[in-house]
C-alpha cells in the first residue's frame, strides 16, 4: 500500500465551532484525504488542509456525471477513542458504485487507512454529545478535462469530514411518487451515484411544497412496489412481521439497513426482505395491522414515519414506534461503546 503523507493546517478552525449549535452539513474540519488516479493507478495519497479543488470547465464529472459518494459517521467512545461504523462495507459499496459507473476501483486497504488517519487527526472535531457524530463523506469523480462520451482517464478520491449535532427525529411524512421514478432494472439504482440524487431533487422539492419531508419511491413500471425513500431504506411492521423491500438491483444496499436487519433478528423479530406494495401498506393501515414504519440511513439514523401521502389519500401510521426506537437505542449505544458490540462492527480509528 502507498504511504499516506500528512501536511497539517497552519491554524485549526476548531475554536470557531460551537459544539452546542452545529449547522448540518455546513462546517468542515481542517483537513481532507485526497488521492489522484492517473496513468491507470491511484497515486499520491495524502492528507492536507481542506481547500478548494480547482475545476476546469471541461472536467468530465460536470458533463457526464461520473461521480459517486459514500456516507459514514465517526463517534467517540467513553474513553474518547474515535470509532468508525463498518467502514469495510462503505469501501466495498464505493467500489460497487465505481464499477457500475465505469470508474476505477479504489484500494480497500487504502480507503481504510486514509479514513482512519484522517479521523484520528480530526478526532477533536467529533461532538461528544450522545447522538452526535462526525459525518464522513468519501467521494470519487472524473476530473479529466475532455469533451466526449467515454470513461475518464483521471479521477480524484477525496474524504471530507463535517461535525453533526444530535439528530432529534420528528416523525416524518413521505409522499409516494407516481409520476417520477428513481430507478429501473438495469439502471443505476443500486449504485450510490450522484446522478440518482440529482434526479430526485425536483420530485423532492415538489413533495416538500406539499408538506412532506421526503419522497417514497415506487417501481418504474407499475408504480406499486415500494423501493426506498429519498435518503433512506424503509421498513414496515405489519401484524408482527417486519418487512423491508428486497434488493432487486433498484435499491441502495444500505449499511444501516443491513445492520438493523441483523439487530432485529438478534432481538427475535421475524424480518422479511420481500416485495411490498403501497396497496399492502394502505390495507394494513386500514385494517389496523400496520404497527410501525421507519426509515434507515447514515445521515438520518432511524426516522419514524407518521404518514404516507398518495394521490388517492393518506396512509396513517401508528404514533408509536417501540421496535424502531429500541433498535435505534441499541444501534446508538453500539456506536458509542456503551453496550457490547457483539457483531464486531466498530473499528477504532487508531
Ligand atoms: C447518508 O445518509 O449518509 C446519505 O448518503 C444520504 C445523503 C443524500 C444525505
Mean pLDDT of the chain: 96
Q: What is the pLDDT of residues 67-83, one digit of tens each?
A: 999 999 999 998 999 99
- Is residue 24 over pLDDT 90? no
Give the whole-number percent of the chain exceeding pLDDT 90: 95
Q: If you count DSSP H runs as helices and E runs as strands, how many of each does the chain have, helices first?
A: 7, 18
How confident is the model at residue 186, as a pLDDT? 97
- Is residue 225 over pLDDT 90? yes
- Please enumerate in sequence order all residues whose Cβ is within 8 A of that of 57, keeping only pairs 6 or more positions apart, or say none: none
For the chain, give every domain's residue range: 5-166, 172-335
Calculate mean pLDDT across residues 230-244.
97
| Residue from 141, 243, 248 nearest 190 by CA | 248
Q: Is 297 in the pocket of ligand 1 (CB under 6 A)?
A: yes
Q: What is the pLDDT of residues 125-157, one digit of tens each?
A: 999 888 899 999 999 999 999 999 999 999 999
Ligand 1 atom closest to Cα of residue 192:
5
Please give the distance, rounded to the nearest whole angstrom, from the Cα atom of residue 197 to the centre of ligand 1.
10
pTM: 0.96
Q: Give 40: exposed, middle or buried? Use CB within 10 Å, 0-12, 13-18, 19+.
A: exposed
Calculate mean pLDDT across residues 245-266.
98
**Architecture of the domain defined by 5-166:** 2-Layer Sandwich (3.30)
Please give the distance, rounded to the nearest whole angstrom, from the Cα atom of residue 299 to the centre of ligand 1.
5
- Is residue 1 over pLDDT 80? no
Mutation choice for ligand 1 from 138, 196, 297, CB with most ligand atoms inside 8 A: 297
Q: Which H, E and C letters describe 200-265, residue by residue? A: HHHHHHHHHHCCCCEEEEECCCCCCEEEEECCEEEEEEECCEEEECCCCCCCCCCHHHHHHHHHHH
How confident is the model at residue 168, as a pLDDT? 62
- Is residue 31 over pLDDT 80? yes
Query: Closest Cα to atom 7, ligand 1: which residue?
Result: 231
Ligand 1 atom closest to Cα of residue 197:
8
Q: What is the pLDDT of residues 167-221, one digit of tens each?
A: 766 899 999 999 999 999 999 999 999 999 999 999 999 999 999 999 999 999 9
Mutation choice for ligand 1 from 161, 213, 231, 258, CB with most ligand atoms inside 8 A: 231
Give the whole-number percent of the chain exceeding pLDDT 70: 99
Q: Could you give the CA distance from residue 117 to residue 108 in angstroms, rounded to a whole number?
A: 14
Q: What are phi and psi of 212, to 5 degrees?
A: -100, 160
Please give the distance, rounded to the nearest whole angstrom, from the Cα atom of residue 78 to the centre of ligand 1.
26
- Is residue 278 over pLDDT 90? yes
Q: What are phi and psi of 241, to 5 degrees?
A: -90, 135
Ligand 1 atom closest to Cα of residue 69:
5
How confident is the model at residue 169, as a pLDDT? 67
How confident is the model at residue 284, as a pLDDT? 98
CATH superfamily of 172-335: D-amino Acid Aminotransferase, subunit A, domain 2 (3.20.10.10)
How confident is the model at residue 254, as a pLDDT? 98
Q: Give 109: exposed, middle or buried? Use CB within 10 Å, 0-12, 13-18, 19+.
A: exposed
Amino acid at each position: 500500500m502507498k504511504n499516506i503523507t500528512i501536511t497539517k493546517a497552519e491554524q485549526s478552525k476548531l475554536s470557531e465551532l460551537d459544539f452546542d449549535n452545529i449547522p448540518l452539513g455546513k462546517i468542515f474540519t481542517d483537513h481532507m484525504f485526497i488521492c489522484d488516479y492517473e496513468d491507470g493507478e491511484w497515486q499520491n495519497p495524502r492528507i492536507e488542509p481542506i481547500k478548494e479543488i480547482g475545476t476546469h470547465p471541461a472536467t468530465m464529472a460536470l458533463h457526464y456525471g461520473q461521480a459517486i459518494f459514500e456516507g459514514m459517521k465517526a463517534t467517540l467512545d467513553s474513553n474518547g477513542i474515535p470509532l468508525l461504523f463498518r467502514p469495510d462495507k462503505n469501501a466495498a459499496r464505493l467500489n460497487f458504485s465505481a464499477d457500475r459507473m465505469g470508474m476505477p476501483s479504489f484500494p480497500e486497504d487504502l480507503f481504510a487507512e486514509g479514513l482512519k488517519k484522517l479521523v484520528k487527526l480530526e478526532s477533536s472535531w467529533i461532538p461528544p454529545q450522545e447522538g452526535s457524530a462526525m459525518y464522513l463523506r468519501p467521494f470519487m469523480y472524473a476530473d479529466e478535462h475532455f469533451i466526449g462520451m467515454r470513461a475518464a482517464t483521471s479521477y480524484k478520491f477525496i474524504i471530507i469530514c463535517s461535525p453533526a449535532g444530535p439528530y432529534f427525529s420528528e416523525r416524518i411524512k413521505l409522499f409516494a411518487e407516481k409520476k417520477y421514478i428513481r430507478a429501473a432494472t438495469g439502471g443505476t439504482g443500486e449504485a450510490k451515484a450522484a446522478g440518482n440524487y440529482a434526479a430526485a431533487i425536483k420530485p423532492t422539492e415538489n413533495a416538500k411544497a406539499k408538506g412532506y419531508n421526503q419522497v417514497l419511491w415506487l417501481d418504474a413500471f407499475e408504480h406499486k412496489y415500494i423501493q426506498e425513500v429519498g435518503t433512506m431504506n424503509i421498513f414496515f411492521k405489519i401484524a408482527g412481521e417486519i418487512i423491508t423491500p428486497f434488493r432487486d438491483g433498484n435499491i441502495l444496499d444500505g449499511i444501516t439497513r443491513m445492520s438493523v436487519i441483523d439487530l432485529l433478528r438478534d432481538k427475535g423479530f421475524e424480518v422479511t426482505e420481500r416485495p411490498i406494495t403501497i396497496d399492502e401498506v394502505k390495507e394494513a393501515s386500514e385494517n389496523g395491522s400496520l404497527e410501525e414504519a421507519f426509515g434507515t440511513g447514515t445521515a438520518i439514523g432511524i426516522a419514524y414515519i407518521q404518514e404516507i401521502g398518495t394521490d388517492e389519500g393518506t396512509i396513517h401510521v401508528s404514533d408509536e414506534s417501540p421496535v424502531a426506537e429500541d433498535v435505534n437505542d441499541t444501534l446508538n449505544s453500539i456506536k458509542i461503546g456503551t453496550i457490547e458490540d457483539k457483531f464486531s462492527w466498530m473499528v477504532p480509528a487508531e
